[in-house]
Amino acid sequence: MSDPVTRKTHNYDPNNFKVPEFRKDKDGKLDPTDYQAAVGLKDFMQRNNVLFVNGDHQWEANSKGTVTFGDRVVQLNDQEKAMFKKLSDGLLDRLDAGDNGTHDNVVGGKDIDKAIRNSWILHGNKTSSEGYWTDPNKSVSTTKQQAKERLVELMEKGHGARDPKGEQTFSSGTIESAVNRQRLADLKKNEFDKYLDDPTAVQGFVLLHKDFHNVDTDKNGNLTLEELKNWKV
């Protein structure tokens, strides 16, 4: 299925690219965009002849200013430190899902290449005031009424998560997984990472994600079936 919120927004050739000049904040410190950091990571991996980076590399980079690959320790320059700092803001996790929508806790070149072509994976649910990407919500064609009906149906069929009391819900994490990775658990079948091959449902979760705080009336981060049915559309 084609991702209903995918947009190709960057002129990026994975076989012939240059790292763009990093953006700076108002104090003149390096503050790369998601795209700049992602391309910077691809370049860093190629220059250091490594196939993957992971959360341990990210932690070491931010805490020590180095990255260790086997018996080799790479000292980071200021631009690389800024890149890893940006990656720690959720970007590394989003890149991790780039290749096939799943998280294996390592980021490879294919993850980066595909994430750059998918604005929702690359940028998450943020909105760019500088125009670096298009708000993915604008590409949703499903109405709120259609979304509500489909998501109520899914929850009634046993999809979602369970809160600490065992009650079935759509948690904030459930919704983000459906939007970012097109994955939704089927509790009745004990399938906890099932591919959501349903464009209406995925777009419905995009709309629900945007409206989450209004629907979550008890503000506990979990939506019950009753709350979902009371979603004002």
Give the range among 18-32, 55-69, 124-138, 164-178 with minimum mean pLDDT: 124-138
Give residue-wise pLDDT tens across range 5-15: 333 346 788 88
Give the range among 78-82, 153-157, 165-169 with minimum mean pLDDT: 165-169
Domain count, the chain: 2
Q: Are 216 and 223 in contact (CB under 8 A)?
A: yes
Residue 35 above 80 pLDDT? yes
pLDDT score for 1:
29
Report which of residues 81 and 167 the model is more confident about: 81
Instruction: Assess whether 120 and 150 both reside in one domain.
Output: no
Instruction: Assess whether 173 and 224 both reside in one domain.
Output: yes
Residue 23 belongs to some domain of the structure: no
Residue 217 above 60 pLDDT? yes
Instruction: Assess whether 168 and 216 both reside in one domain.
Output: yes
What element of type H or E holds 165? none
Residue 127 above 70 pLDDT? no
pLDDT score for 128:
41
Instruction: Assess whether 109 and 186 both reside in one domain.
Output: no
pLDDT score for 181:
66
What element of type H or E holds 17? none
Residue 83 above 80 pLDDT? yes
Domain that holds residue 179: 144-229
Q: Are 103 and 97 in contact (CB under 8 A)?
A: yes
Q: Are 207 and 140 in contact (CB under 8 A)?
A: yes
Please give the mean pLDDT across all residues of the chain.
Answer: 82
Give residue-wise pLDDT tens across range 46-68: 999 999 998 889 999 999 999 99
Q: How confident is the model at residue 230 (pLDDT cuts 50, 70, 90)?
A: very high
pLDDT score for 114:
83
Question: Across 51-65, 86-100, 170-184, which has the greatest mean pLDDT?
Answer: 51-65
Instruction: Assess whether 128 and 148 both reside in one domain.
Output: no
Q: How confident is the model at residue 130 (pLDDT cuts 50, 70, 90)?
A: very low
Q: How far apart are CA 128 and CA 15, in angstroms?
A: 27
Residue 3 belongs to some domain of the structure: no
Q: How far apart are CA 134 and CA 157, in angstroms?
A: 34
- 168-171 and 222-223 strand pairing: antiparallel
Instruction: Assess whether 152 and 117 both reside in one domain.
Output: no
